[in-house]
Amino acid sequence: MAQVEIRSPVPVLDASGRPVNFGWARSAVFQYDPGLIRVSRRQVNESDRYIIFSSTHLLILEVLDGGCLGYVSASVISIKDKQRFTQVLIVPFPLGGFEMPWNSENGSIQMQQKRSLLKFITMEQGVRIIKTDIPKFSHQRRLRGELVLFEPAGAQSLVTHMPWRREKDAFRYSLRSPWYIVEGVMQFGTSELIFTRGNAWGIFDWNREVRPRTDLRYWAAACGVSNGKQIGFSVGYGSADSGMGTENAFFLEGRLHKLDQVTFHISPTNWLLPWHFTSNDNRLDMFFTPYQERLEQNRMFFHYLKCRQVCGFFSGKVVLDDGSPFEFQNINGFAERRKTRF
């Protein structure tokens, strides 16, 4: 099936609440109104996640309203000594109480539980601000600071709207922007994590969906500089039907180069062995060298989420839309597999 590029505004749901207009786009042309959803709020999943990279550390900050199970998660990963510090705050039965924005380009999120604070703020001209203050983040060390994310001129995002073949009400509407320029400071205990323009990068991962009873998803992303060019990518696949628009694209200086199907070749016995990524259109040939693995499981009665996540470096070659090859080396990123069931 040929991929369908959507170029003008269309709704995600029709007046009766059925998902329509499947495909992919370079900007947020899909219009999402959760008030039209006709299934139980327990099936609605909404998440905002930021992955921030520097030469020394990764930060992963996420807010997820999964209907019955919600959480606020923060991770600090040290590249040099391969240590990870994570705190997950479980919120039972949010059922829309997080008031996640309907639009990826507008609205802000503020999560405050006891003395902990996490804010995602959307500003004008594509600027985003992350503020966090978690007094007892890890071993009583405080995580506190502010980051500012800037988008490059003329940047495009990978936006997809996908159905499930056997579940007519289920859909996944996602936006991935793997090209942010980051500045700011995070205080972690007695250490300062410094993110400077030209040496720090960010990925924005935005999802709104009605999920099926079970779901399986693979996703990998990275961003940075190679050969003097700012690059990034988002590749993935899962149980959703991606025939009309895959989650696969490469970005050069913020401009999107669309890929077809991408396969993850992973060792079945050891995820820390090198991975290989290939595409059916022969435009992507990429290797991933992991340095750290993390397993996370969250359960709330009949709702279950399991995430296996690996951080590492990507190198390879991609063929751009104009047919020219581009090689890249040692771009910092991560890959993951997420399973959900309810």
User: How would you write 226-279 as a 3-class SS string?
Assistant: ECCEEEEEEEEEECCCCCCCCCCEEEECCEEEECCCEEEECCCCCCCCCEEEEE
Domain membership of residue 276 as a residue range = 10-341
Per the domain annotation, does 291 fall within a domain? Answer: yes
How many residues in total does the chain contain? 342
pLDDT-derived band at 1 (thresholds 50, 70, 90) equals: low
What are φ and ψ of residue 36, in 5° steps? Answer: -85, -10
Q: Return d(Cα 240, Cα 247) in angstroms, integer.
A: 11
Comparing 2 with 46, the larger pLDDT belongs to 46
pTM: 0.95
pLDDT, tens digit, for every residue of 15-71? 999 999 999 999 999 999 999 999 999 899 999 999 999 989 999 999 999 888 888
Residue 337 lies in a domain: yes
Spacing of C-alpha 68 from chain mean position: 21
Residue 169, token pair as written in the block: 């009400």
Tokens of 127: 């600027």
Smallest CA-to-CA distance from 46 within 13, 71, 17 is with 71
DSSP letter at 100 equals -
Q: In Å, how far are 81, 84, 339 from 57, measured between CA atoms?
A: 10, 10, 26
Any domain includes 4: no
Instruction: List pLDDT tens digits, range 112-168.
Output: 887 899 999 999 989 999 999 999 888 778 999 999 999 999 999 999 999 998 899
Query: CB within 8 A of 194, min separation 6: which ones?
Result: 54, 185
Average pLDDT over residues 220-241: 96
49 lies in some domain: yes
Residue 196 within any structural domain of the chain: yes
Task: Measure the CA–CA gap between 258 and 255, rounded to whole angstroms.
Answer: 10
Residue 300 predicted with pLDDT over 80? no
The span from the CA of 52 to the CA of 77, in Å, is 10
User: Does a structural domain hold residue 328?
Assistant: yes
Task: Report the number of distinct structural domains present in the chain.
Answer: 1
**Is residue 287 in some structural domain?**
yes
CB 264 within 8 A of CB 219: no
Q: Is residue 5 part of a domain?
A: no
